[in-house]
């Protein structure tokens, strides 16, 4: 429990930020799963469209520090390789 007003405020801010980050991370994972499901279904056009959305989210979250820059690059690379292998 916080002993000062400042510490209490920081705790409130941290909790608010944690919930926001959790929501953002969840939406990112959902976007990635949608692309992977489209790939498994063999829908290349839909996979490409969904990949653009996921790519945008990954780049944005990497820029904001929600995920590491290399994690975003690695994930995009792996998904893109799977889309290209569909041909």
Per-domain boundaries in the chain:
43-87
Q: pLDDT value at position 1? A: 82
At 2-20, the pLDDT tens digits run 899 999 999 999 999 999 9
Tell me the C-alpha distance between 76 and 59, whole Å.
Answer: 9
> What three-state secondary structure class fits 76?
helix
Q: Residue 59: name the closest of 47, 45, 75 by CA.
A: 75
Task: Output the CA torsion 79→80→81→87 (10° steps).
Answer: 120
- Answer yes or no: is pLDDT of 27 > 90: yes
What is the pTM assigned to this prediction? 0.87
DSSP annotation of 2 reads -
């Amino acid at each position: 429990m916080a002993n000062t007003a400042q510490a209490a405020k920081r705790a409130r801010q941290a909790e608010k930020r944690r919930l926001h980050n959790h929501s953002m991370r969840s939406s990112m994972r959902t976007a990635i799963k949608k692309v992977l499901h489209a790939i498994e279904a063999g829908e290349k056009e839909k996979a490409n469209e969904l990949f653009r959305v996921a790519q945008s989210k990954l780049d944005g979250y990497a820029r904001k520090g929600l995920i590491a820059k290399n994690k975003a690059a690695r994930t995009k690379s792996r998904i893109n390789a799977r889309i290209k292998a569909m041909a």
